[in-house]
Structure 1
Amino acid sequence: MINWTPELDDKIRQMRADGYGATPIAREIGTTRNAILGRFFRLDRADTAPPRVELSLDDRVVAKFNSGMSCERIAMNMRMSRKTVRSIVAAHGLNPSAVPNPDGDIDDIWEMDEDERRAAFARAASENARKTRLSPSPQKASA
């Protein structure tokens, strides 16, 4: 097993940039072709990987709410109480009793008349049903 150092990484990067394949690079360094190919893969991933950003709990709740999920669905999804989700949403200046409309805007359900409210809930239910149908179903283990 080879001990990869920054100097070796620089050397294989330079040889690769000069047009050498994995086999000549492996001969030069004294390792196998597969070790070089694996190192290429890991170096490419390290060079191109975006920095991982961890969102706070509040930010995740607000992002889910802004994507069109109801507070109740968020609470079930994140295993939180509805009261906690509603308080987080309200603390960010959003209306927890709002529902998304087809234009992507958010309407307050209590400002709608009864027919509009029914249509909004039917839309939300059909969207959730469609998402459920499109999500991959867990495979049952065969005994």
Structure 2
Amino acid sequence: MATPIAYGPARVLPGEQIHVTTNPDTEPFWQAAREHRLTACQCSSCGKFRMPPSPYCPNCSSKEREWPTLAGTGKVFSFAICSRNPATGDEFVYVPVVVEIDGAGGTRLVGNLTGCNAEDVTIGMPVEIEWTAINDGWVLPNFRVA
């Protein structure tokens, strides 16, 4: 049996390498992030959450929407272990995760995970939001082990 690779602590990518571009559908999400609030687009008519946000609800076609504040907790739905910075090619261990957000009807969000060694990440692991400053005053939602 092969010995597992020891990657070490998972980190987030350097903020200066990340840029945010918004549009009218995504602006409320990013403005809430600046306030360290996690939100998701929810249809005001049928209550279905939708991420990424869109002008029309895919469930009932309503244009009505709201942006409730969410708890900022969830569980790892999927993940990958990466060992190179995609911008520079340098060795850099990070773990992009897909997190199913608690209280948001199956809504999933992608971010990087911290708070553990990369090789210890598991599906179903409880996580909580962690805010990372990036370019132009924006803030990126990432996750840490709860």
Q: TM-score when scaled to structure 2?
A: 0.19
Q: Is the helix fraction higher in 1 or 2?
A: 1
Q: Is the strand fraction higher in 1 or 2?
A: 2
Q: TM-score when scaled to structure 1?
A: 0.20
